[in-house]
A and B are shown apart, each in its own frame.
Chain A
Amino acid sequence: MKVNAGNLKKGDFVLYQSQIWQVQKADFYSPGKGSALMKTRIKNLLTGKNIEFTYKSNETVETIEVSSVEMQYLYKDSESLYFMDERTYNQYTVPITVVGDVSQFIKEGEKMFVYLHDEKPLSIRPPMSVRLKIIEAEDAAKGDTVSGAKKPAKLETGVTIMVPLFVKVGETVIVNPETGEYVERVKV
């Protein structure tokens, strides 16, 4: 399908130099003279490499049709993430380089959407937020009342993020898997 670059948005799949890329960021930009531009960051779905490309906003771009299928996330090894379509029992492999840091925030056994193009897996649709348990964190020092102060905390998936001082080991927090930022504590 052909679209105007001005209509590109995050998550779209585009053809660029005969390869499939996913738009990570698309900012409309009016430089003051000449046609408006679309500044994009696109990720190569074979290599995981990100590049910045500036389109003219009225330039046509070839986009790729994909289907997103809900699958179970099975496990990962050093190179890939493995998923299973629970209806067909077909397994799909997505390289970690393509998924990026999001892979550090997803738990085995959880449901996740995988993008397919011609039956081949391209990437995953990162969940808006994930709930993960804190397994390691220092206790907040008494009297430390600086508002907004943070401390490192290790999540059950093994990754360490910054959380507010009041968060304790054993509590569950909501995290944005795309930015790795703490959102809030899950109230029990």
Chain B
Amino acid sequence: MDIHINKNNIGYYSTYLTVEKAIQQYLQQNGYLKIDLPVLSPTLVPESYLEVFETEFKYLNNREKLYLTPSPELFLKRLLVSGIGNCYYLGKAFRNSDPNATLHSFEFTMLEFYKLKADYMDIAEEVLNMLRHIAAIIKKSKITYQNQTISLDKWEKISVAQAFDKYADISEAELFDKELFLKKAKIKGFRTSGYTYEDIFSQIYTQEIEVNLGMNGYPTLIYDYPKEFAALAKLNPDGKTSQRFEFYMAGVEIGDCYSELTDWQEQEKRFSEEAGKRTKSGKIEHPIDKGFIKALQYGLDDCAGIAIGFERLSMIFANVTSIDRLKLITIR
């Protein structure tokens, strides 16, 4: 890897700064407290698919392992339990084993905000208003991205089940029955042997669904993921889906939102499943954040939160196709 200086990106970088300013302004005007957070933590939330960066604090003969945080969630939820109220973080997050690509960087900027007494659809409203505010500051009522016009008048809303039916010809019955799903995937030409439902779901989602999202003149909100993809989201009353949405603009995934799981027992169960999968797949072992579970035991009020890839969102407003174009210095 090397350090690259990209002075020619100054124009795009200035849009990046404007988007940042607009977001801070919008959230602060709407009662969200800005939270500054550590990026090094002694414990983490176990996530089976995420590799982390490990480092060490040294003092004389003492050694203590520390980890760069892949998400600010573990800190923000503690603060929510402590009664801090609606809040947000806009800062660095780190994900190892994610090679640099047009839409990826192992070190990136994340916007995460939480709203109390809200569910995922309340957050959808908030996000749309925030996007309009950014557009207003940039003085654009419509966004033009790679010759596509994106209007912020409304969301295009589609459920995951509707999207699989519409774009991949996989019916709701097939989507929620693992055996039927894998059978259908095989007929469609995907290699399924040795792979799990989650593996093939992700492959088809990426290959056939994602490319259609945010492509119809509006940002797309795709919601209600199968419970296997619930992560830290609440389940819906149907028992099959979780209260989670992702949103897309021009085929690019920008944000991921949950009605937050507040049941500490369910959370503890998911943690140990995730930690087990981490060990099995040979990922760096890190202490599990037990304090997070303890915080939930005190009681987390109903709330919802969203994580937004800040560079990706800025890319849309700056009309560039790679996050590198927004940066004056990149490590590649």
Q: Any chain B CB within 8 A of the CB of A59? A: yes
CB contacts under 8 Å to B, within A1-40, are 27-37, 39
> Would you call A67 an interface residue if the criterion is a C-beta within 8 Å of the partner chain's C-beta atoms?
no
Interface string of A44-61 (1 = CB under 8 A from B): 000000001111100100
Convert B197-229 into 0s and 1s, putting 1 for each residue whose CB lies closer than 8 angstroms to a CB of A.
011111101110001000000000000000011
Tell whether B173 is near chain A: CB-to-CB under 8 Å: no
A143 adjacent to chain B (CB < 8 Å): no
Residues of A within 8 A of B49 (CB): 30-34, 36
Chain A residues within 8 Å of chain B by Cβ, number: 20
Q: Chain B interface mostly helix, strand, loop or mixed?
A: mixed
A33 B211 Cβ-Cβ under 8 A: no
Chain A residues with Cβ under 8 A from B205's Cβ? 31
Q: Is the CB of A34 within 8 A of B191?
A: no
What band does the interface of chain B fall in when counting residues whose beta carbon is under 8 Å from A? 20 to 34
Chain B positions 159-211 with a Cβ under 8 Å from a chain A Cβ: 191, 195-196, 198-203, 205-207, 211
Q: Which residue of B lies closest to A147 (CB)?
A: B11
In the complex with contacts A28-B101, A54-B207, A33-B191 CB distance below 8 A: no
Partner of A53, one of B99, B199, B207, B228: B207
Tell whether, in the assembled complex, residue B104 and residue A59 are in contact, meaning their CB atoms are under 8 Å apart.
no
The answer to whether A35 touches B195, judged by C-beta atoms less than 8 angstroms apart, is yes
Task: Verify if B17 is at the interface (C-beta below 8 Å from A).
Answer: no
Contact with B along A142-154 (1 / 0, CB 8 A): 0000011000000
Q: Across the interface, name the chain A residue whose C-beta is closest to B211.
A: A52
Shortest A183–chain B CB gap in Å is 10
In the bound assembly, the distance between CA atoms of A147 and B11 in angstroms comes to 9
Residues of A with C-beta under 8 A to B11 = 147-148
Contact (Cβ within 8 A) A27 B101:
yes
B97 beta carbon closer than 8 Å to chain A: yes
Distance in Å: Cβ of B66 to nearest Cβ of chain A: 23
Q: Given contacts A29-B206, A52-B207, A56-B195, is CB(A34)–CB(B201) below 8 Å?
A: yes
Distance in Å: Cβ of A41 to nearest Cβ of chain B: 11
Does residue B98 face the partner (Cβ distance < 8 Å to A)? Answer: yes
Residue B103 at the chain A interface, CB threshold 8 Å: yes
Which among B104, B198, B201 is the interface contact of A29 at CB below 8 angstroms? Answer: B104
A30 to B253, CA, bound (A): 12
Most chain B beta carbons < 10 A, residue from A31, A52, A59: A31
Interface string of A124-152 (1 = CB under 8 A from B): 00000000000000000000000110000
Tell yes or no: B272 within 8 A of A by CB. Answer: no
**How far in angstroms is the closest Cβ of chain B from A18?**
13
Nearest residue (CB) in B for A27 is: B101
On whether the beta carbons of A54 and B229 are closer than 8 Å, the reply is no
Question: Interface of B with A (CB < 8 Å)?
Answer: 11, 48-50, 95, 97-99, 101-104, 191, 195-196, 198-203, 205-207, 211, 228-229, 231, 256
A-B contacts, 10 of them at CB < 8 A, read A28-B98, A28-B101, A31-B49, A31-B206, A34-B198, A35-B195, A35-B196, A52-B211, A56-B195, A56-B203
- Other CB < 8 Å A-B pairs besides A31-B206, A37-B202, A37-B203, 19 of them? A27-B102, A27-B103, A28-B101, A29-B104, A30-B49, A30-B98, A31-B202, A32-B231, A33-B48, A33-B201, A34-B200, A34-B202, A35-B202, A36-B49, A52-B211, A53-B207, A54-B207, A56-B195, A56-B203
Q: Which 6 A-B pairs have the closest CB atoms?
A: A34-B198, A34-B202, A54-B207, A27-B101, A34-B199, A31-B202
Where the two chains meet, the residues of A that have a C-beta atom closer than 8 Å to any C-beta of B are 27-37, 39, 52-56, 59, 147-148
